[in-house]
Structure 1
Amino acid sequence: MNEQKIMLKVITLGDSNVGKTSLFYNYMYGKFIYHRSCSIDFCSKELMIENQHVSMMVWDTFGQERFHSLGYAYYRGAHCYTLCFDIHNEKSFDSLEKWMDDTKTYCFESIPFILIGTKSDIPRTDKSISKARIEQWCKNIEDQGIIDKVHYFETSSKLSKNITESYNAAAKLAFKHYNKNQNPPITTPAIVLLEEVKPGHCC
């Protein structure tokens, strides 16, 4: 086993009130928590990715995106990001490419992302974002060469649906992004949870 521990940073992006923080808490603590705050925070999980000890730090905005104050410190060193929207909120869907543009501004290199639609426990209506529209959006992004394949998950924090699956996919992409410039490359991703969550805080 390779004893060197790799630090992977996964950041959370998307409009306010789409459920990003509930998603964050559900993944870290395994339950739905309604929480509002105005600070940037993070927690880490210890993972084993194909015999490689990895500490994945998941960062959440905790409402800071309302003040347009994420900046370089939030984006710096990120290996992957979760791009979130509310499947019942048109504006949050329209904002996705704005958040992608921010990563181009604040990150020194192109980083991969996972697309997450939240609040899937609420039945779709005529005003909801259809799966066909989401599939077409993903295809457009792939056709532009921004990312080879958009991994999309519809999640529910209340039902704990697709939370672990989406973050495991983010961990694999983050590991691959970290690993691609290593010489020699480390391994191909597969995930095992090692330890409990370790909280952190960034003012």
Structure 2
Amino acid sequence: MGKDRPNGADFSVQNGGKRQPNRQMSTELYDMASKVMLIGDSGVGKTCLLVRFKDGAFLSGSFISTVGIDFRNKVVDVEGTKVKLQIWDTAGQERFRSVTHAYYRDAHALLLLYDVSNKASFDNIRAWLGEINEYAQEDVVIMLLGNKADMTSERVIRTEDGERLANEYNVAFMETSAKTGMNVDLAFMAVAKDLKMKKTRKPTDPKFSVTDYVNQEKQSVGCCSS
């Protein structure tokens, strides 16, 4: 069983790769650790999504964009297995892209975000998927997230558009809202469950489908679950 170092704070990796400890400490026991990256254009809500999942809070108002890479831990229980998600929040700006590429190689899962009220962020998803194909592991878990689903009056990307793109690339998809918490926990838990199943599945066991799991969970608890 793993355990964070007694003085093992989460880290921010910024300004070309310098590691700086964050304030929060983590000493919670875990059975397995997996690296999850949040990627997508600047301003799509990656940091807000992470803070909502990690702390159950919403970053309202203006805040400084992520510079380089920011790193947080959260341990979740997946059917009795303690899974530590090492969640990396990446900067979407082009000037930090080379820094981000270096972290793709050992990522176990990638949450790719666009903003449903920003057409450009959706149009750029194909380019992001191209980068994933070039830099990430072949068996990396990918989930497409249409974030800011609470912005109904500003929406320009339909749910069907996101579903169609996800089907084209054979990746899981859902819409989320860091503001209301809609589907945020479900997104991370679906990824954690997939990663856990990959490590524990026997050759004769059926393959776990993130898409099927997400659809089942949304049907059982309602589409606007937090």
Q: TM-score, normalised by structure 2?
A: 0.68
1:159–1:75 Cα change, 3 Å: same
Partner of 1:134: 162
1:54 match: secondary structure: strand
Equivalence for 2:36: 10
- Identity over aligned residues, as a percent? 33
1:24 aligns with 2:24: no
Number of aligned residue pairs: give it.
179
**Cα distance between partner residues in 1 of 2:184 and 2:176:** 6
Aligned match for 2:187, one of 152, 166, 179 = 166
CA apart distance, 1:98: 1.3
1:11 alignment partner, SS class: strand
Gaps of 5+ in 1: 143-149, 191-203
Could you say what secondary structure the match of 2:164 adopts? Answer: helix
Mapped pair 1:59 → 2:88? yes
CA, structure 1 residues 36+72, in 2 after alignment: closer, same or farther (shift >3 Å)? Answer: closer
- Tell me by how many angstroms 1:118 deviates: 1.0
Given candidates 144, 151, 163, the residue that maps to 2:172 is 151
Stretch of structure 1 that moved more, 151-160 or 169-178:
169-178
- Scaled by the length of structure 1, the TM-score of the pair is 0.75
Partner SS for 1:26: helix
| 2:145 paired with 1:116 | yes
Q: Aligned partners of 1:129, 1:163: CA distance in 2, in Å?
A: 19
**Cα separation, partners in 2 of 1:157 and 1:76, compared to 1, 3 Å:** same
SS, match of residue 156 in structure 1? coil
Amino acid in structure 1 at the alignment position of 2:139: S
Per the alignment, do residues 43 and 4 of structure 1 end up closer, same or farther by CA in structure 2, a change over 3 Å counting?
Answer: closer
The SS at the match of 1:164 is helix
2: CA distance between counterparts of 1:128 and 1:178?
39
Name the CA distance, whole Å, in 2 between partners of 1:86 and 1:117: 6
1:61-103 C-alpha deviation (Å, 9 max, x unpaired)? 1455553223443213211110100011111111112112212
Q: Which amino acid aligns with 1:20?
A: K
**Aligned residue in 2 for 1:98:** 127
| 1:82 aligned counterpart, secondary structure | strand
Aligned to 1:176: 197
4+ runs of 1 displaced by more than 6 Å?
Answer: 182-185
Aligned: 1:68 with 2:94? no
Amino acid at match of 1:154: E
Q: Indicate conservation of the 8 Å contact 1:112/1:177, yes or no.
A: no
Equivalent pair of 1:113/1:173 in contact (CA under 8 Å): no
CA distance in 2, matches of 1:58, 1:134: 23
Partner Cα separation in structure 2 for residue 55 and residue 80 of structure 1: 13
Task: For 1:89 and 1:169, locate their aligned partners in 2 and report how far apart those are by CA, in whole Å.
Answer: 26
Q: CA RMSD in A?
A: 3.0
Higher relative contact order (CA 8 A, sep 6+): 1
Cα separation, 1, equivalents of 2:54 and 2:72: 7
Q: Aligned pair in 2 of structure 1 residues 179, 111: CA closer, same or farther (>3 Å)?
A: farther
Shift of 1:141: 1.9
Answer yes or no: is the 8 Å Cα contact 2:112–2:145 preserved in 1: yes
Structure 2 gap segments, 5+ residues each: 2-28, 214-226
